[in-house]
Amino acid sequence: MQWRFITLTTLVLLAAFSRIVPHLPNFSPLNAIALFAAAYFARQYQAFLVPLAATWLSDLFLNNVTYAQPGQSFLWFYPGFYWQYLAYALIVLWGIYLLHGRVSFLRTVVGVFGGGVIFFLVSNFGVWISGSLYPQNLDGLIACYIAALPFYRGTLAGDAVFSALLFGGFQVLQHYLPALQRPTAADKAGV
């Protein structure tokens, strides 16, 4: 099981650090990472911890190397980070409910769309509640969501591509490396 954990963690880290490659707005692996971790990590705390830690490490790199301005102090967390991290944690919960131990193509597709909706609703609620861009009323919240719709396309595209790479890639790895497969009840009983 240690090889499985190491492989899953490596895939999550590689996907998280793919963010340093130039990409379209909102075309990100992070929702897919949360869903993938929920589906495959044996322990639920790992499903939360590994993708959130990988996201934070890649945020550290992006904010302090890639996007750093001269004279900028070290940035541990960016303003409003908690809304995105809350969205990723909720996507993990969604993935545990939908996929843990029951991965299929249809469930994964439903997971991808549901994860995108969760991220859209939570992150844009954070934009609305935290800032001064929109009035703090229902009309302002609706305006915020409407203004965010063009970015949703990039979110769904990133979710679909990275989910296909992570889920599909891990299925291929499991096929060729049986040590990565989750043991069945018969395996545990020694049959």
Residue 65's contacts (CB-CB under 8 Å, 6 or more residues apart) are none
Contact 86, 122 (CB under 8 A): yes
* pTM, 2 dp: 0.89
d(Cα 191, Cα 183) in Å, to the nearest integer? 12
Q: Cα 79 to chain center, whole Å?
A: 19
Q: Which CATH class is domain 2-19+27-67+75-182?
A: mainly alpha
Q: Where are the domains of the chain?
A: 2-19+27-67+75-182
- Which pLDDT tens digits describe the chain residue by residue (191 residues)? 698 999 999 999 999 999 888 888 889 999 999 999 999 999 999 999 999 999 999 999 988 988 888 888 898 988 889 999 999 999 999 999 999 989 999 999 999 999 999 999 999 999 999 988 899 999 999 999 999 999 999 999 999 999 999 999 999 999 998 888 876 443 343 33
